[in-house]
Amino acid sequence: NNYKNYPIGKIFISYLIEWCYKNNLKKFDFCLGDENYKKFFSNKKQIISKYFFGKSLKGKIIIFLINFYLKLKN
């Protein structure tokens, strides 16, 4: 009765996150997608991939400079 007003998915994820915390896991990966429950439970968003494509010479030069900057930043 305590949980009848909550969706079963949120209850399940709550237990999973609690289990992770008790077992000293630092991250919980929701995988791809932008569903609302992920925003509800998350405090940080991580981009897992980037793809740049330049069609013209100017675009290719810009892409090269961006990639060079990102490599220097890392």
Express each pLDDT in 52-68 by its tens digit: 778 899 999 998 998 89
Q: What percent of the chain has pLDDT above 70?
A: 100
Euclidean distance between CA atoms 73 and 16, whole angstroms: 35
Q: What is the pTM of this model?
A: 0.52
Amino acid type, 5: N
